[in-house]
Amino acid sequence: MSRDYKKAASGLIKGRVLFDAPMKQFISMKVGGPADSLLFPRSVDELRKVVRYARRKKIPFFILGKGTNLVVRDKGVRGWVINLTQGMKKIQMEGEVVEAEAGLPLQRLVQFSIQKGLTGLEPFFGIPGTVGGGVAMNAGAWGVELKDVLLSITLMKEDGEIVEKPHSRLRFSYRRLILPPSWIILKGRFQLKKGKKEEILERVKSYSEIRKRKQPLDYPSAGSIFKNPKEGPAGKWIEEAGLKGFRVGQAMVSERHANFIINLGKAKAEEVIRLMELVEKKIYEKKGISLEREVKVVGE
């Protein structure tokens, strides 16, 4: 069957198409087996073509940005992985509103706003991932979430129709935008404010220093593994359970920040997943708290 998925992807778009693409090269945790086909549509039209074709032929697919909240299993992904980072990266501003396409790195959006002297995105400095991923996950830091500056998003519905939804018609929760699973985020519009460049840069610098001090940025990871439960920060419970430095093979709970699992170099996805399960079990046994994952696991 996977041969058919490859044949179907061949020559479908002008953008790049890779076969048996090692997913560890495309996600921040650096684990995972091959995807049958990895497609890089260059435009919304190419994306629509890919999605419509996949639905018509019943080819399973999922959308990938920079793969920062993702673990791909060791046998890889059957069907298609559609990567938005090589075509859909436009950014523009109108007054204090900035519009950015889903494949643009979130950091480019933050840097662009700083260059233009606009304030509102400083807390997101240093958060990896794309604009689309950030909106889908309702990314946040230092008590600010992306939804707080979001005016609207443009989406592609299941049938390829494109709609814009204002903030008032979107449902956000902690680290999540609630959408039908088959809808795809194409771009976001953000309401920022004029600020003083020196003050903006000062704030960015202080956020950046805290991040460097507190997070294990020198190893591959998928960012925060668990959502913070209502009882308080997940990292605090993991640390109190004595799990900092705990290892399964090459996957380890970071000694710098307990809510990060790092890849010491040659971790397998299976080791990362086993370590997550182990942490969940221990926290439930010791604290009676059920941790919910922020990271998605895909593949087989």
Q: Which two tokens stand for residue 214?
A: 């507190």
Examine the pLDDT at 128 and tell me if it is beyond 90.
no
Examine the pLDDT at 208 and tell me if it is beyond 90.
no
Examine the pLDDT at 9 and tell me if it is beyond 90.
no
Q: Average the pLDDT over 256-269 and give the result.
A: 96
Distance in angstroms (rounded) separating the CA atoms of residues 20 and 53: 20
Distance in angstroms (rounded) separating the CA atoms of residues 165 and 185: 11
Examine the pLDDT at 148 and tell me if it is beyond 60.
yes
pLDDT for the residue 239? 96
pLDDT for the residue 182? 87
Query: Look-up: residue for tokens 């976001």?
Result: 188
* Summary mean pLDDT of the chain: 93
Considering only CA atoms, give the Rg of the chain: 20
SS (H, E, C) 99-137: EEECCCEHHHHHHHHHHCCEECCHHHCCCCCEHHHHHHC
Distance in angstroms (rounded) separating the CA atoms of residues 56 and 43: 20
Pairing mode, strands 171-173 and 77-83:
unpaired
Q: Could you confirm whether 209 is annotated as catalytic?
A: no
The domains located in the chain, with CATH, are 2-83 (3.30.43.10), 91-199 (3.30.465.10), 216-298 (3.90.78.10)
Lowest pLDDT segment from 7-16, 81-90, 156-165, 241-250: 7-16
Q: Average the pLDDT over 29-40 and give the result.
A: 96
Structural contact between residues 267 and 249, judged by C-beta atoms closer than 8 angstroms: yes
Examine the pLDDT at 2 and tell me if it is beyond 70.
no
pLDDT category of residue 240 using cuts at 50, 70 and 90: very high
| Residue from 99, 101, 122, 294 carrying the catalytic annotation | 294
| Residue from 113, 224, 254, 271 carrying the catalytic annotation | 224
- Beta partners for 184? 156
pLDDT category of residue 3 using cuts at 50, 70 and 90: low
pLDDT category of residue 97 using cuts at 50, 70 and 90: very high
Nearest to 294 by CA among 60, 71, 33, 25: 71
Q: Could you confirm whether 175 is annotated as catalytic?
A: yes
Distance in angstroms (rounded) separating the CA atoms of residues 59 and 51: 9
pLDDT for the residue 1? 54
Q: Average the pLDDT over 72-95 and give the result.
A: 95
Q: Could you confirm whether 37 is annotated as catalytic?
A: no
| Residue from 42, 55, 108, 175 carrying the catalytic annotation | 175
